[in-house]
């Protein structure tokens, strides 16, 4: 019998890093992801600098926080 492995998957619409308080705080997203230590992350509405001024580095910051590759 093959031992079972637990895999943590996170799917999350991060709304470009803007919270319910309508403030851009990508650090909050990064902290939650760090706490969850997911194996697989599927994020929606990651900004590439179109919605939130100064957010063009989001993909790079998020990839660095969780490791691996971004698609």
What is the token pair recorded at 18? 């803007």
Is 0.75 surpassed by the pTM of this model?
Answer: yes
31-56 tens-digit pLDDT: 999 999 899 999 999 887 667 666 66
What's the whole-number mean pLDDT along residues 9-36?
93
pLDDT at 61 over 90: no
pLDDT at site 42: 93
Query: To the nearest whole percent, how much of the chain has pLDDT over 90?
Result: 42
Distance separating alpha carbons of residues 29 and 12, to the nearest angstrom: 10
What is the token pair recorded at 44? 């929606």
């Amino acid at each position: 019998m093959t031992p079972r492995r637990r895999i943590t998957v996170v799917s999350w619409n991060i709304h470009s890093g803007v919270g319910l308080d309508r403030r851009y705080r990508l650090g909050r997203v990064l902290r939650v992801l760090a706490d969850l230590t997911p194996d697989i992350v599927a994020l929606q509405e990651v900004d590439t600098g179109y919605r939130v001024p100064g957010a063009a580095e989001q993909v790079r910051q998020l990839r660095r926080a969780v490791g691996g590759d971004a698609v």
